[in-house]
């Protein structure tokens, strides 16, 4: 069967090609988004990272049995439209848990210890603590995690030995470890010295951290987002950093990417990275192999490992 690779975001596609070839399938790699769209009517399966698979485009997919997305989110796929046509949608929800958790903790500790500021202080000829005051002891802090799935749990597990009070807010969490207290989001925001975002992007979570939310947070609190850029109103956050209501923020993801540089220039205590929290060489290989494997399973009439259910069916 014909499998269309809609966008090549990896160094090469040898893993997918080998997995699919072993099952007797042909892989065609689109040269551009326009060519990928042209190939959709012929595809028995589609592998994609970022191609916009709207309802209109999905309706052209007369042969397809599966859309397999690299990565966790499926924001670019109209899952309901796919299911209405009998097309299975899959993702890879467990491929970069360690990487995103590690990146989140690294960003948090960098904010808490003011490492970029310390670096600039030394390079400017300074020395001692004057350039980084005040610093807080981690064990005296309250850290809140909004979203407590695989990544949030690993972040909490990583931070626990440092001794902070850990809060979590997640409407779907049924249980939490002993070191974590499950609370309402409003309580978490009001009590936390640092807020870490690990929620999916949905209509209900878009703009989760905005002007009103920021006013409910502790003065001088920190914010870390390595989850979805749309969870944060970037203008509201940069305004809060400028006027000192937020003590610092670390962002790996942005509502629009690449980020508009003037919008983040000269912002005090803002640490940024370029949507790399998911990345390690091992994570990329895992994502490629697992996404291609979902194609093979579904086309063989087997159940996928990672089916994505339309929102209306999960409510």
C-alpha 138/C-alpha 47 separation (Å) is 43
Q: Rounded mean pLDDT of 24-36? A: 96
Give yes or no for a contact between 224 and 107, defined as CB atoms under 8 angstroms apart: yes
**How many DSSP H helices and E strands does the chain contain?**
12, 12
The CATH code that applies to domain 2-95+280-314 is 3.40.50.720
For residue 161, give the nearest of 176, 179, 149 by alpha carbon: 179
Q: Grade residue 311 by pLDDT with cuts at 50, 70 and 90.
A: confident
Is the pLDDT reported for residue 167 higher than 70?
A: yes
Give yes or no for a contact between 277 and 285, defined as CB atoms under 8 angstroms apart: no
The CATH code that applies to domain 97-272 is 3.40.50.720
Q: Rounded mean pLDDT of 231-237? A: 98
CA-atom Rg of the chain in angstroms = 22
Q: How are the residues of the chain apportioned to helix, strand and coil, as percentages rounded to the nearest 5?
A: 40, 15, 45
242-281 pLDDT tens trace: 999 999 999 999 999 999 999 999 998 999 999 999 999 9
Q: Grade residue 310 by pLDDT with cuts at 50, 70 and 90.
A: confident
Query: What pLDDT does residue 233 have?
Result: 98
Q: Quick one: 281 exposed, middle or buried, by C-beta within 10 A (0-12, 13-18, 19+)?
A: exposed
Give yes or no for a contact between 204 and 176, defined as CB atoms under 8 angstroms apart: no
C-alpha 239/C-alpha 242 separation (Å) is 5
Is the pLDDT reported for residue 315 higher than 50?
A: no
100-119 pLDDT tens trace: 999 999 999 999 999 999 99
Q: Rounded mean pLDDT of 159-185? A: 96
* Residue range(s) occupied by CATH 3.40.50.720 in the chain: 2-95+280-314, 97-272
Q: Rounded mean pLDDT of 183-187? A: 97
Is the pLDDT reported for residue 312 higher than 90?
A: no
- How many other C-beta atoms lie within 10 A of the C-beta of residue 211? 13
For residue 13, give the nearest of 24, 26, 35 by alpha carbon: 26
Query: What pLDDT does residue 314 have?
Result: 38
Catalytic residues: 228, 257, 275
Query: What pLDDT does residue 9 have?
Result: 82
C-alpha 44/C-alpha 56 separation (Å) is 17
Q: Rounded mean pLDDT of 31-37? A: 96
For residue 226, give the nearest of 147, 158, 284 by alpha carbon: 147
Is the pLDDT reported for residue 313 higher than 80?
A: no
Where would I find the H helices in 114-191? Answer: 115-123, 150-159, 185-191
Query: What pLDDT does residue 16 have?
Result: 97
Q: How many CA atoms lie within 13 A of 266 on its CB side?
A: 1
Mean pLDDT of the chain: 95
Q: Grade residue 189 by pLDDT with cuts at 50, 70 and 90.
A: very high
């Amino acid at each position: 069967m014909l499998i269309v690779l809609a966008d090549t975001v990896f160094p090469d596609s040898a893993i997918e090609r080998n997995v699919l070839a072993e099952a007797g399938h042909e892989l065609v790699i689109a040269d551009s988004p326009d060519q990928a769209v042209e190939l959709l009517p012929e595809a028995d399966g589609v592998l994609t990272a970022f191609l916009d698979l709207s309802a209109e485009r999905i309706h052209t997919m007369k042969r397809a049995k599966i859309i397999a997305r690299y990565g966790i989110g499926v924001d670019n796929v109209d899952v309901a439209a796919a299911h209405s046509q009998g097309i299975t949608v899959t993702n890879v929800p467990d491929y970069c848990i360690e990487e995103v958790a590690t990146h989140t903790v690294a960003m948090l500790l960098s904010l808490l210890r003011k490492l970029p500021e310390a670096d600039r202080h030394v390079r400017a000829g300074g020395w001692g603590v004057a350039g980084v005051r005040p610093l807080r002891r981690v064990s005296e802090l309250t850290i809140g995690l909004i979203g407590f799935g695989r990544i949030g749990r690993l972040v909490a597990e990583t931070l626990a030995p440092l001794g902070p009070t850990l809060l979590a807010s997640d409407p779907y969490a049924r249980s939490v470890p002993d070191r974590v207290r499950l609370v309402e989001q409003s309580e978490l925001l009001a009590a936390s010295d640092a807020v870490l975002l690990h929620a999916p992007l949905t209509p209900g979570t878009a703009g989760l951290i905005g002007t009103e939310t920021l006013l409910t947070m502790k003065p001088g609190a920190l914010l870390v987002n390595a989850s979805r850029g749309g969870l944060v109103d970037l203008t509201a956050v940069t305004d809060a950093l400028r006027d000192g209501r937020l003590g610092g923020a670390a962002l790996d993801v942005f509502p629009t990417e690449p980020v508009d540089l003037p919008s983040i220039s000269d912002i005090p205590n803002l640490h940024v990275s370029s949507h790399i929290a998911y990345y390690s060489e091992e994570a990329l290989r895992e994502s490629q192999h697992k996404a291609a494997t979902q194609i093979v399973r579904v086309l063989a009439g087997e159940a996928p490992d990672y089916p994505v259910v339309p929102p209306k069916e999960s409510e």
